[in-house]
Structure 1
Amino acid sequence: MNQKKFQRSIEVALLWHSLDSDNLGVGALAIGHIYLISSVAKEAGYEVKFTTVGTPNSDGKNARVEVERIVGHKIEHVVYSPRKIISSIKKLKLDKLGLFNKFDVVFDIGEGDSFTDIYGTSRFLRLFFSKLHVLVNKRPLIIAPQTIGPFKKRKSSLMAKFILKNASKVFIRDIKSRDVFQSLLPNSKSIQVIDVAFAMPFTKNIEIASQTVGINVSGLLFNGGYTGGNQFGLKDDYPEFIEELIRYFVEETAYNVELVSHVISDEQALEDDYRACVHLAKMFNDVKVAPKFNNPIEAKSYISGYSLFLGSRMHATIAAFSTSVPVIPLAYSRKFDGLFRTLGYEHSLDLKELTKESLMSEIKDKISKNESLALDLNLAIKTANNYLNEYKRGLLEVLELSYENNK
């Protein structure tokens, strides 16, 4: 490849990406996305300079250093606050209004599943405002692979429709999001791909004892959601179900048991998985708690050593799936079923539909057919890789257009 090609530079903003989030799923999306864009750009002879934009990073995480080593430059992170931007405009300080002007293209991943109103009006408006900001700055807005919807309110649907209609490209990570997109814009086209966390690199863990099951416990579900009152409408009591699940593996199987965190936060006790894991481990002899991971790559690498995995954090289950660990996702929202069904992997169990008795019956049945679980996994991994290749082709097209339009 000639030297001239290496001099083709593209400034990329990664909106709602956070490398060092307490939520390792959000971090996995950022790392996987940067890894994909970098690999495509390198093959095509582009130099990409990344800036992440979104929520504040956690001081306790260290993914940024590893990712900066991969891409070969420092990655600036800009904390995005609509309130501060509006306040600055009122004071006639207009520098923040042009935040996205310097970028050739903006990829918005919506932290994976935040482009919806099910998490509240404030969060939806924050996501909407940021997308509108990109359009006002007349920058190409790329909706990166994420869950779209659901939108419970008509106003939210209309606002989402406006953004999607004016985006330069829309990539979808699951079939249910594709259906939402088509209901809003029946004459427009989205591109079906898959979650970019599948592309995040890892190192195979060979140190975990054989025949060990990893159980990811969601601190958010354990505490009843943000409201503390079964916010997500689970069919049965989540702590009781998890306790019964652990007891089953301890008393009725030959598996060693480890409890695994994928949201680790010293500040946000409500969301912290680690506290819930420690609490549950104290109730049993010989049940271990996996370490507090410092970054998503470390978590994925560790999870790769299990013989079986069950989890309520979607990106914890993706970490298992994409490292060839048979996995039973324990879903609390449609994003689980949408994603895994897109891959032809029909083993998610819906916590909103099934009682704990039904859940346990299903889990026992799936474990008894472990070979079938592994076979379905291998086939689904091939499908995931095909979707990743489709996204790489889409990325190349975006990078080429961005360079040509801004050189």
Structure 2
Amino acid sequence: MHVRVLVLWADTRSANLGVQVLAHGMAALIRQAWGEDVVVDFQDYGTGDSEIGFGERNILADLGRRDGVLKRKLRQYDLIVDSGAGDSFTDIYGLRRLAWMYNAHRLSAGLGVPVALGPQTVGPFNTRLGRAMGRSMLQNAAQVHVRDGVSATYAEDELNVVPDAKSTDVVFALPQPTSGQHHDVLLNVSGLLWQPNNHVDSARYRSLIFGLISGLKRQGRTVTLLSHVIENPRPDNDAPVSRELGDELGLNIVIPKSLEHARAAVGSAQLVIGSRMHACLNALSTGTPSIPLAYSRKFAPLMADIGWPHVFDLRRDEELIEPLLETVVSMQRTDNDEVDVLRARARARLETSVEALKRLR
């Protein structure tokens, strides 16, 4: 009988290709630790790859029942791996999402199914209830894996848990893609940040993007726009922005049809500049230099841990266009040794997760 593992908060069909990275990357990590014949399934907050969702309706339907819909789902597995949706182990997105995560942990504990937190960002928690739920989940987990040093320190100092593995993002567990169409500079513009949002000033972000494109053209670079959150009905969608800018500025666009298509595109580019962290991580993991335009605390610590200092924080007030363009020029003058060293360091960090997961067999 095959060993079965469920990856929580992951979806191989998500319009957000970063979510797909987490799903496929977690599965690759699990198979490295537990063997290629392990059965890996995925459960998002909603249905996604699953036949059910893990939201309020099914939480209430499951409540007080020995054989509720959520319990039936969870008891099928030998291990639960919580991906944290990468950066959702926090209360900054509201307590609702965190409560759904907490409920899955609570039910799994009652069923005797171990839960390991895969490599992810931990914290911050800004509310008393959020901190209590976060601490409970970490302290009761079979293992805790973090993907950056800031998360490790936060887990230890704020939640009283020492991580079992100080790892990195699971994108580095994915195979090298086949070559795609050559591109010079792929620029990922975030549909989330293009509209009013809770992260950065959207008007300032738009001004930065227009200034960056203009500056890259003056340098003689060819800019192609890359969507990393693709067609979907939600406002968080890069494709409409890519089309709008492409039409206005006469730029080519790439709207990937799949994660493999996206990785082939970034792997065949000279440089990727992106506001979606996994657009940049996809590039670095395939050997392409990248400049992340960060909008949250998840970017810089992860990049710093794997030795990549070329991160620009959109939340800061200083002018970014000229420093960005200077970094583009400096990257053009160097070879890819820095990226090769980064990839080796990342794979070594990821191996700590593989070895830790082996201990759960």
Alignment TM-score > 0.5, same fold:
yes
Contact 2:152 2:166 in 1 (8 A): yes
In structure 2, the partner of 1:259 is: 225
Q: Is the 8 A contact 2:167 2:350 kept in 1?
A: yes
> Aligned pair in 2 of structure 1 residues 173, 91: CA closer, same or farther (>3 Å)?
closer
Distance apart, 1:35 and its partner CA: 2.0
> Given the two structures, how large is their TM-score scaled by the length of structure 1?
0.83
Q: Matched residue of 2:116: which SS?
A: strand
* SS of corresponding position for 2:223: strand
User: Deviation at 1:47?
Assistant: 3.0
Q: 2:192·2:237 contact (CA, 8 Å) conserved in 1?
A: yes
Task: Please give the secondary structure, in 1, of the residue aligned with 2:269.
Answer: coil
Deviations 1:387-406 (A, max 9, x none): 122222122222x2xxxxxx
Which residue number in structure 2 is paired with residue 281 of structure 1? 246
Match of 1:242 in 2: 209
Question: In 1, Cα distance between the equivalents of 2:159 and 2:131?
Answer: 11
For residues 159 and 290 of structure 2, the distance between their equivalents in structure 1, rounded to whole angstroms, comes to 35
State the match for 1:20 in structure 2: 13
Contact 1:178 1:190 in 2 (8 A): no
Question: What is the rounded CA distance, in whole Å, between the counterparts of 1:187 and 1:25 in structure 2?
Answer: 27
Q: CA shift at 1:237, angstroms? A: 1.3
Q: Which amino acid aligns with 2:138?
A: L
Alignment match, 1:172: 146
Count of aligned positions = 359
1:367 and 2:328 correspond: yes
Flag structure 1 segments of 5+ consecutive residues without an equivalent: 1-7, 59-75, 226-230, 401-407
Distance 1:149 1:138 in 2: 26
CA–CA distance in structure 2, aligned partners of residues 57 and 261 of structure 1: 24
Asked if 1 retains the 8 angstrom alpha-carbon contact of 2:212 and 2:325, the reply is no
In the alignment, does 2:218 pair up with 1:218?
no
1:56 Cα deviation from its structure 2 partner: 4.3
Identify the match of residue 298 of structure 2 among 310, 328, 335: 335
Structure 2 letter corresponding to 1:289: I
CA-based RMSD of the aligned residues comes to 2.1
Displacement of 1:82: 3.2
State the SS of the aligned residue for 1:118: coil
Q: How far 1:206 moved relative to its partner?
A: 4.7
Aligned ranges 1:49-198 → 2 under 5 Å: 49-56=39-46, 77-89=50-62, 94-98=67-71, 99-186=73-160, 188-198=162-172
> Residues 263 and 206 from structure 1, CA distance in 2 versus in 1: closer, same or farther, beyond 3 angstroms?
closer
Contact 2:47 2:53 in 1 (8 A): no
Code of the aligned partner of 2:253: V
Note the C-alpha offset of 1:267: 1.0
Amino acid aligned to 1:129: N
Indicate if the aligned counterparts of 2:273 and 2:292 stay in contact, CA closer than 8 A: yes
Decide whether aligned partners of structure 1 residues 339 and 166 sit closer, same or farther in structure 2, where only a CA change above 3 A counts. same
Aligned to 2:355, which of 393, 396, 407? 393
Contact 1:304 1:325 in 2 (8 A): yes
Question: Is the Cα–Cα contact under 8 Å of residues 134 and 159 in structure 2 kept in the other structure?
Answer: no
Contact 2:225–2:242 (8 Å) recurs in 1: yes
CA contact (8 A) 2:164 2:356 kept: no
- Residues 147, 54 of structure 1: CA spacing in aligned structure 2 closer, same or farther, 3 A cutoff? same
Match of residue 70 from structure 1: none
Q: Is the 8 A contact 2:10 2:44 kept in 1?
A: yes
Cα distance in structure 2, aligned partners of 1:192 and 1:28: 19
Measured in 2, the distance between the counterparts of 1:119 and 1:393 equals 32
1:31 aligns with 2:24: yes
Confirm or deny: 8 A CA contact 1:235 1:353 kept in the other structure: no
- In the other structure, the counterpart of 1:72 is none
Q: Which amino acid aligns with 1:222?
A: W
**3-state SS of 1:77 partner:** coil
SS of the residue corresponding to residue 334 of structure 1 reads coil
1:296 corresponds to: 259
* 2:10 paired with 1:10: no
Judge conservation of contact 1:219–1:273 (CA < 8 Å) in 2: yes
Contact 1:54 1:78 in 2 (8 A): no
Q: Is the 8 A contact 2:149 2:301 kept in 1?
A: yes
Q: Aligned pair in 2 of structure 1 residues 187, 240: CA closer, same or farther (>3 Å)?
A: closer
SS in 2 for 1:201: coil
Which range moved further: 257-266 or 78-87?
78-87
Alpha-carbon contact 1:28-1:297 (below 8 Å) kept: no
Query: Mind listing any 5+ residue stretches in structure 2 that lack a counterpart?
Result: none
Q: How far does the alpha carbon of each residue in 1:216-251 deviate from its partner, in whole angstroms, 9 at most, with x for none?
A: 0110011122xxxxx11449611121111111112x
